[in-house]
Amino acid sequence: MELARTLPRYSRQTTAPTQVRATTRVDIALFNGFALPEVAAVIEIFQKANSLVAAQRPGRARYDVSLLSAAGGRIASSSSVFVWTDDVQSHRGTNDTHLLFIAGGAEVQQASRDERLSNWLRRRHPFSEIVHPIAEGRLILEAAGLPSRYCQIQYGGHEPYSPHPAQSLTEAPGAVSTALRIVERNLGSDLAREVAASIVPQHHSPFTSPSTPSVATQISEKIMASARWLEANVDLPVSIDDAAQVAAMSERNFLRRFKSEIGMTPSDYLLRARLNMSCRMLLDSSLPIDKIARRCGISGGGRLAKLFRKYLATTPTDYRNLQARAYGPPVPARTTRSVPSAGNRT
């Protein structure tokens, strides 16, 4: 899909901070099943910027972040983490600068059919300096008949603190990169660099996936969307054709592009995501090994043990005990849910 070449109406800025002291409103539209990691990183960037500004230049916060959904209330991410949101209908615009991010995630098709969300986006779109979908969030914008509006300073230079060139207008910039560029434009490159250095995950498993914010700007938006879709559906039977459809590519082209940009095949990436999730669950819960395996899309505890021995030269139980000594004991087990049989799918 060709990206809409809509840019905000301001000229290219230098890295010197602007002198405007007004609050910038950061609106993030969510829905049940949204992908949490990149949304959390965007929130962290603006909150960290607020903390640094408050320490260096006392006064009110520079960024006011609002989490919004069609009906408001509690929204569940794809990883079953709940966040509280405001109702889009009750959220009024102000004379401040507004930046709008639309989350992606596994249940985006259902969200794109929600007229409450679409109507609100149509009202807010003309007044938002930036309208930035995150991965599959573009489908919500398309359903509302609206174009994306990216930050003009993303183009013609370099991504923040990365040796890789900025994307052309045929590739969407990452939301994390855009958020850092906004902070850089408003508050200066030194503060933006300090913010960027702070947004690192607290814990990595041996299978942590490569689609993390630190390298996201090297990967095209379509391939990134398919990678996130694979990560969000690790517990389900998925096929390579399903992932290719998410990227809007033929299966052959998708396989070629995915391996070129991610560095592994989609099947290997899915296995890595499943093992990564199993590592996290071994650390974060006290669930039995067999139950963890099935929740991660792996046929059973025996199969998970074989994979651990192959890739880590240890067992899931030994891995859990070792990590518990480093990070503390796991939390009590939560109630179970059934996982469909993988059948003959990946």
Domain boundary assignment for the chain:
24-198, 205-346
CATH of domain 24-198: 3.40.50.880
Q: What is the pTM for the complete model shown? A: 0.56
Residue 152 banded pLDDT, cuts 50, 70, 90: low
Would you place residue 335 in the very low, low, confident or very high pLDDT band (cuts 50, 70, 90)?
A: very low
Strand ordering across the sheet containing 82-87: 73-76, 82-87, 63-69, 24-29, 97-102, 130-133
Which residues have C-beta within 8 Å of that of residue 9, sequence separation ≥ 6?
none
Q: Please give the CATH superfamily to which domain 205-346 belongs.
A: Homeodomain-like (1.10.10.60)
Amino acid 225 reads A
Amino acid at 30: L
DSSP 8-state symbol, 202: S
Pairing of strands 130-133, 24-29: unpaired
pLDDT of residue 218: 59
Token output for 251: 């299966």
Q: Any idea which of 92-106, 184-198, 214-228, 248-262 has the lowest mean pLDDT?
A: 214-228
pLDDT at 160 over 60: no
Nearest to 298 by CA among 330, 346, 240, 231: 346
Question: Is the pLDDT assigned to residue 277 strictly greater than 60?
Answer: yes
> Residue 106: pLDDT above 90?
no
Angstrom distance (rounded) from CA 188 to CA 230: 36
- Note the residue count of the chain: 346
Q: Considering only 7-16, 150-159, 253-262, 324-333, which range has the smallest mean pLDDT?
A: 7-16
Provide the 3-class DSSP secondary structure of residue 10: coil
In this prediction, residue 324 has a pLDDT band, given cuts at 50, 70 and 90, of low
What band does 21 get if pLDDT is binned at 50, 70 and 90? Answer: low
Residue 120 — very low, low, confident or very high, per pLDDT cuts 50/70/90? very high
Helices (H), 108-220: 108-112, 115-124, 137-143, 175-187, 189-198
Cα torsion 108, 178, 273, 261 to 10°: value is 110
- Could you tell me which of 262, 277, 181 has the C-alpha nearest to residue 222? 262
d(CA 150, CA 178): 8
46 contacts 26 by C-beta, under 8 angstroms? yes
Q: How many CA atoms lie within 13 A of 341 on its CB side?
A: 2
